[in-house]
Chain A
Amino acid sequence: GDSVTQMEGPVTLSEEAFLTINCTYTATGYPSLFWYVQYPGEGLQLLLKATKADDKGSNKGFEATYRKETTSFHLEKGSVQVSDSAVYFCALSGSARQLTFGSGTQLTVLP
């Protein structure tokens, strides 16, 4: 079945540092890939998405590129802010047409 593996946290960075959160997936066919973010005390919200190979999703300074050859969708941001502190979830929508989530990565950004 479909599965998503993302790097374990927690991740702690200083403000303005570079962020990478790794995400790899297993799926049949051509899934769509997503990053969701969960700010403290809130539900998840869509951060960015990519629907086909080599697509780059971007939003709020975050980027991720759909790499079919490496089955990866790593999340990056060049300069993180304290307000980026949250839990980040990688997810895919595959043949089952349901979202499959990774386990989440807690990010803390220190001033």
Chain B
Amino acid sequence: DADVTQTPRNRITKTGKRIMLECSQTKGHDRMYWYRQDPGLGLQLIYYSFDVKDINKGEISDGYSVSRQAQAKFSLSLESAIPNQTALYFCATSDSKREARTGELFFGEGSRLTVL
């Protein structure tokens, strides 16, 4: 089983619908992230959480919200989806004790969202 699991892996929805993407991890990491990937734009950070009570906006947080339900779970919500939120979304985790030395993030397999 994957250490970082995202659900759903694929979702097609309509404009105006509320969507939730979920991420769970078994790595025991304290930090979790949501990224968006668009062709030719690389990865853009949406939100990040350094622990359950510490949630921060990234560079493109407008139109998104998050919830850190537990150390192992971090959900991304689109309250009212719009077509330009069609993208591939990645959850990632890191261990703050190791990140200072390694800078390594561990990624899920991605959730492809299409908004019609």
Contact = CB atoms under 8 A, between A and B. Distances in A.
Contacts of A103: 40-42
Contacts, number: 47
Interface in B37-61: 40-45, 48, 58
Interface residues of A, number: 19
B21 interface: no
Question: DSSP class of A's interface residues: helix, strand, loop or mixed?
Answer: strand
B103 A44 contact: no
A104 B40 CA distance: 7
A24 to B, nearest CB: 14
A93 B100 CA distance: 9
A58 interface: no
24 contacts: A32-B103, A34-B104, A41-B109, A42-B109, A43-B90, A43-B107, A43-B109, A43-B110, A44-B92, A45-B106, A46-B102, A46-B104, A49-B103, A49-B104, A51-B103, A89-B42, A98-B45, A98-B48, A101-B43, A101-B44, A102-B42, A103-B40, A103-B42, A104-B40
